[in-house]
Amino acid sequence: MKIKLFFASMVALVAMSFTSLENRPWELLGARKINYGLDRDEIVVTRAEGVFTAVQLRIKRSPINMHKMSIHYGNGEVDEKDLRENFRAGSTSRIIDLPGNKRVIRKVVLWYDTKNLANGKGVVELWGRH
């Protein structure tokens, strides 16, 4: 009986650990109002925000054409991500896993254009997963 209880508790513990990996909290790291035409913006992230395993962009109010983004880490490394995607208002990027273990993000640089897609100025939000 004790062995069955032990194995049942181990199975429950393993199942809970898998669900917690997917349900880690997301935190808003910053947002930028999108200008018309081709532009580049930086979202500065402070060390106080903590460490992250993934990032995601969320587009609000107006569509944009995202070219690329570069993630600058606390140790000086830079990770270039080619996005080349048209985002509708209300859409999100894929979840972008960060290489290595948990990383401190110093800033994220975004290159984008509106190409007359926008009725008004949109907003890009940068979210990080702990």
Residue numbers of the domain that contains 123 = 25-129
Distance CA 93, CA 105 (A): 18
Distance CA 82, CA 69 (A): 7
Nearest to 130 by CA among 105, 107, 106, 102: 102
Domain for residue 79, yes or no?
Answer: yes
Domain for residue 93, yes or no?
Answer: yes
Domain for residue 37, yes or no?
Answer: yes
Distance CA 69, CA 31 (A): 14
Domain for residue 61, yes or no?
Answer: yes
Domain for residue 14, yes or no?
Answer: no
Predicted TM-score (pTM) of the model is 0.76
Least trusted range by pLDDT, from 24-33, 63-72, 100-109, 115-124: 115-124
DSSP 10-38: HHHHHHHHHHHHHTPPEEEEEEEEPPSSS
The one-letter amino acid at 16: M
Domain for residue 92, yes or no?
Answer: yes
Number of domains in the chain: 1
Domain for residue 40, yes or no?
Answer: yes
Distance CA 17, CA 125 (A): 29
Longest dimension (CA), the chain: 69
Phi-psi region of 127 (alpha: psi -120 to 50; beta: other; left: phi over 0): beta
CATH classification at residue 70: 2.60.120.260
Distance CA 34, CA 74 (A): 26
Backbone angles phi, psi at 4, to 5 degrees: -65, -40
pLDDT single digits (tens) 27-61? 999 999 988 888 899 999 987 778 999 999 999 98
- Better-scored residue on pLDDT, 122 or 54: 54
Domain for residue 9, yes or no?
Answer: no
The pLDDT of residue 60: 93
